[in-house]
Amino acid sequence: MPRPRVVVVERMDMTGVELLKKECDVVELYERPGEALEQHLPEAEGLVVRIARLGADRIALAPKLRVIGKHGIGVDNVDLAAATERGVHVVFTPGSNQEAVAEHALTLMLMLARRVEDAVRRARAGEFEAGRNAPPGIDLLGRTLGLVGMGRIGGRLAEICRAAFRMRVLAFDPYVSPERSRELGVERVDALDAQLEQADFVSIHAPLTPETRHVIGAAQLSRMKPTAYLINCARGGLVDEAALVEALKGGTIAGAGIDTFDQEPPDPGNELLRLPSCIVTPHVAGASQEARVQTSRMVAEEVLRVLNGQPPRYSYNPELSAAGARC
């Protein structure tokens, strides 16, 4: 019996690749420069993607496709409706990188608070005394953190900030139960504006949906303190980038730490890349060594479950299994 063909579109840790190779014919597309994904779609029974877009047009080119494995948790790059209509399972890896993303968000908070990027630049330029005499940063101890979304990642960041820095944590998330909030020692707020007005740091940890696109725009930024900082390690589309540029240039807020962009890679002309009050990283918040191993293993296991006729454990369209869709 022929082995199923699985196309791994973007590079991932070899732990998952080797798991797939035990049972599948694996095409590592990132090892084939110049080859387009489209030429491999007609034979693909499984696809593994990180941020590559799988729209309805590409899904239509894959008549044998049975499962799409998302290396991560956000599925905004996959046309879920088109996949579901075709009976294609979309699986993902919840919790695989929560520690990595939470720690990266904290890293950006600390770098902004202590003006680390400017201090490093001055030290390397030989401006030692000027660096020592530059305006000092602030401590995180006792500050207020505002979370926009408090799932696994937001919850973990809340734990760290409360335990390490005794921070007050406010959470705006209509889907979080009062019990979960009490467990974490977090104050739930029903209105985003009420949180923004109080927070010293606002960290976004929400999925990108039509309802959450530009959840932070000009109106929301104007409600933040001029001394406050915005952190986004979730999805670029959650923030109106043009409004953020204006807020940073005008001093509406003190700074921002941005790991994700609306367009990736961002246009070289994107002003967020050059503003000194904005620290940027190339969508690496979830890419610690441990997270990469765990994520690759989980996505491979979920893809193999579907290809072997088993219901997936972590699915964005679980109704397919309930309906007895082909798997």
Q: Alpha helices, DSSP H only, in the chain?
A: 14-21, 56-60, 80-85, 98-113, 116-124, 128-132, 152-165, 178-184, 192-196, 218-223, 241-250, 289-307, 319-322
Q: Which of 283, 292, 297, 305 is catalytic?
A: 283
Q: Which of 58, 71, 89, 235 is catalytic?
A: 235
The DSSP element (H or E) to which 145 belongs, if any, is strand 144-148
Q: Taking the CB of residue 122, how many other CB atoms lie within 10 A of it?
A: 18
Residues 257, 239 contacting (CB under 8 angstroms): no
CA distances from 243 to 128, 240, 274, 291 (A): 35, 5, 15, 32
H or E element, residue 230: strand 229-232
> 168 catalytic, yes or no?
no
Asked if the peptide bond before residue 33 counts as cis, ω within 30 degrees of 0, the response is no
**How many CA within 13 A on the CB side of residue 290?**
8
Q: Which of 10, 183, 197, 264 is catalytic?
A: 264
Active site residue 264: yes
Write the CB contacts of 170 (distance below 8 Å, at least 6 apart in sequence). Answer: 144, 145, 146, 147, 186, 187, 188, 189, 195, 198, 199
CB 288 within 8 A of CB 5: no
Instruction: Let me know if 283 is a catalytic residue.
Output: yes
Please give the angle made by the CA atoms of 264, 176 and 185, to the nearest 5 degrees: 105
Amino acid identity, residue 45? E
Residues belonging to the active site = 235, 264, 283
